[in-house]
Amino acid sequence: TNLKNHFLKAVLLALVLTGCKSEEKKPVAEAESQPKPNIVFIYMDDLGYGDMSAYGATEISTPNMDALAEGGIKFTKGYATSATCTPSRYAILTGRYPWRNEDAKILPGTAPLIIDTEQLTVPKMLKAEGYATGIVGKWHLGLGNGNVDWNQRVSPGPNEVGFDYSYILAATQDRVPTVYIKDGYVDGLDPNDPISVDYKNNFEGEPTGLDNPELTTMKWHHGHNNSIVNGIPRIGFMKGGEAAKWSDVDMADHFLTKAQEYVSSHKTEPFFLYYALQQPHVPRTPHPRFKGKSGMGPRGDVILEADWVIGEFMKTLEKEGILENTLIVFSSDNGPVVNDGYYDDAEEKLGDHTPAGVLRGGKYSLFEAGTRVPFMTYWKGKIQPGVSDAMVCQVDLLTSLAKLVGSDQKGEDSKDILSAFMGESKQGRNELVIEATSRTAFRQGDWAMIPPYKGAAINKQVNIELGNDSEYQLYNLKDDMAQQNNLAAAQPEKLQQMIKDFEAIRGK
């Protein structure tokens, strides 16, 4: 505008008059445009809504996670799309509801890549904006085309869907292959000791948790009775690759080092780091220096370990001088589970701790604790600390971050709620389809609606209410966050409207 021009001229004149040398001043346009912020996702595995002290836990203290919550925006209605890992990870990277992809369910370690290499992803979007892109940690989105030779380059994988650098574990800590994979190659593999992996049949002469309990140091409760690695019986059979096998108790330190190295080597350019920690998923294997520290058994100990790791990671950002130019998004892929298949004292030593907080259900559940998780955004000096009740979902990060970095890319189901993520608005999304082991339910405003599903009400092995019922369920979360009062019969009009809006998105 004219006024602005006059003002700028006046400023320039003043600068000249005060003897300010012109070469000391950047051109106005450049001075006004911010450098692109680094973006880091810190993604936990099975951390529940009540597992952090900032979210109300009293029996465990998580000071480094809390620092993100207290120095950034703490969302009280932050959601993963799903109550299990693979679908949530699919959604956070693609901005697309996982139920649109029938392969987006808990995958074995031999599953093919479930993200189409043509699919838009967060790292692809950022790459197009000049970002370096890296992933360190858990992948669990499949690798290869269905018949992987672990002794060759494993592809397609993270590097084929947008990451320039990947240092991953293929599936889960409890699934084979129990090796790290760097840019498609098994790290530390001895070519004379090739790896074979199979999820159906064991390899001749290889011990298993089922047949050789005397070789295990952690006992299986359900599942988890195939190949034994480091004394821990796993899901799936594996042979060979001795030198490449990871050390479970060193995993947290190992990934931390990789994440720190990534930050240090990319500090001079904008980068995106997807740092996917393995805690507190099973098997819970705290490093000896955290063993017994929580008084809550290994589940609590690995939460303390993860908290320490996050503190160290933050120190690295600070030391490298980039903390104030880095947006951190912290969340978890699904809600909590106490016994997920091993006897590890998690139940016995839980005490008064409530991993789901006041929420009903847990991992695998359509009740709130399945998908409502800790969710924070932190950007020192840029995001004003606060608590937000806006409903936000991990699926929204793609479109929102695109807006942040000046890209016009949009994810299929991903809403631009950047202002909510930045704490500038309390307006999030109004509705959300959540998913749990291929079943879906609906969140809208203050309401949660769960359609009828066959199947057990409770998964007895993990002791979690799954949300299955022969009737529709309708809850007003504003008055009834714990979903104790089914209003379906009392509020038939509300129910019908919810069903209609749900089916419009989901299809019948």
Minimum distance of ligand NG6 from residue 441's CB (angstroms): 18
CA–CA gap between residue 166 and residue 175 (Å, rounded): 19
Q: Return the residue of 301, 333, 344, 368 that touches Ca ion, per CB under 5 A.
A: 333
Residue number with CB closer to ligand NG6 (4 or 460) = 460
Q: Taking CB within 5 to 8 Å according to partner kind, which of ligand NG6, Ca ion, none is near residue 368? A: none
Residue nearest ligand NG6 by beta-carbon distance: 223
Which residue carries 């397609």 as its tokens? 156
Minimum distance of ligand NG6 from residue 85's CB (angstroms): 3
CA–CA gap between residue 226 and residue 295 (Å, rounded): 30
Q: Taking CB within 5 to 8 Å according to partner kind, which of ligand NG6, Ca ion, none is near residue 106? A: ligand NG6
Q: Taking CB within 5 to 8 Å according to partner kind, which of Ca ion, ligand NG6, none is near residue 413? A: none
Of 165, 7, 74, 39, residue with least CA distance to 384: 74
CA–CA gap between residue 20 and residue 493 (Å, rounded): 70
Residue number with CB closer to Ca ion (99 or 502) = 99
Q: Taking CB within 5 to 8 Å according to partner kind, which of ligand NG6, Ca ion, none is near residue 178? A: none
Q: Is the peptide bond before 177 cis (omega within 30 degrees of 0)?
A: yes
Of 203, 173, 88, residue with least CA distance to 436: 88
What is the separation of C-alpha 493 from the centre of its chain, rounded to a whole number of angstroms?
36
x/- mask, Ca ion, residues 38-57, rule CB under 5 A, reads -------xx-----------
Residue number with CB closer to ligand NG6 (38 or 334) = 334
Burial of 5 (C-beta count, 10 Å sphere; 0-12/13-18/19+): exposed
- Tokens matching residue 380: 């020192």
Minimum distance of ligand NG6 from residue 364's CB (angstroms): 8
Residue number with CB closer to ligand NG6 (162 or 335) = 335
CA–CA gap between residue 286 and residue 279 (Å, rounded): 9
Residue number with CB closer to ligand NG6 (339 or 400) = 339
DSSP 8-state class, residue 205: T
Helix (DSSP H) and strand (DSSP E) numbers for the chain: 11, 22
Name residue 433's beta-bridge partners: 442
Instruction: Choose the binding region for Ca ion from 255-263, 309-317, 327-335, 394-402 (rule: CB under 5 A).
Output: 327-335
Residue number with CB closer to Ca ion (42 or 474) = 42
The kind and range of the H/E element at 493 are helix 492-506
Minimum distance of ligand NG6 from residue 224's CB (angstroms): 6
Residue number with CB closer to ligand NG6 (326 or 394) = 394
x/- mask, Ca ion, residues 73-112, rule CB under 5 A, reads ------------x---------------------------
CA–CA gap between residue 50 and residue 369 (Å, rounded): 9
Q: What are phi and psi of 482, to 5 degrees?
A: -85, 5
Q: Confirm or reject binding of residue 334 to Ca ion (CB under 5 A).
A: yes
Binding stretches for ligand NG6 (CB under 6 A): 45-46, 84-85, 106, 140, 172, 174, 222-224, 235, 281-282, 334, 340-341
Residue number with CB closer to Ca ion (69 or 92) = 92
Four-residue CA torsion sign, 65, 124, 278, 140:
positive
Residue nearest Ca ion by beta-carbon distance: 85
Q: Which residues bind Ca ion (CB under 5 A)?
A: 45-46, 85, 333-334
